[in-house]
Amino acid sequence: MTETPIKSYHGSCLCQQVRFSITGFRGTVGNCHCTMCRKFHGAAFATLVNVEGLTWLSGLEQLKDFVAPNGTIRTFCSHCGSSIGFRSKDASLDEIEMAIATFDEDLPVNVDVQIY
């Protein structure tokens, strides 16, 4: 009898201090073109994914939150400035949508929607 290993995916920030793993994805993946996402990511749009089984492996103390005037929260690495994720007002860190660019490997997800 062999157990099916749980597939996990890993991500990190640019300086590698913030590292995390997840076990899966849920919901849709969207490219968000809103002004705040563009500024936050320093890119033409941001791609965020809803994840399952999020575990912070290191660097939690480096995470900093920016709370926008509308209450949405953007989390980034305070050491290297990498965009880590986004969550809605009052959501806990466990509910964060991860910035897809932080993952270290190719992901089995397709971008389904374009927003803004």
For binding to Zn ion (CB under 5 A), which residues are involved? Answer: 13, 15, 17, 32, 34, 37, 77, 79-80
In the complex with Zn ion, the residue whose CB is nearer, 9 or 47, is 47
CB of 115: closest distance to Zn ion in angstroms?
A: 7
65-81 burial: b if 16+ Cβ within 10 Å, else e: eeeeeeebbbbbbbbee
CB neighbours of residue 20 within 10 Å: 23
Nearest approach, Cβ of 105 to Zn ion (angstroms)? 18
98 and 23 in contact (C-beta within 8 Å)? no
Query: Nearer to Zn ion by C-beta: 34 or 68?
Result: 34
Report the residue number, 13 or 29, with the smaller CB distance to Zn ion: 13
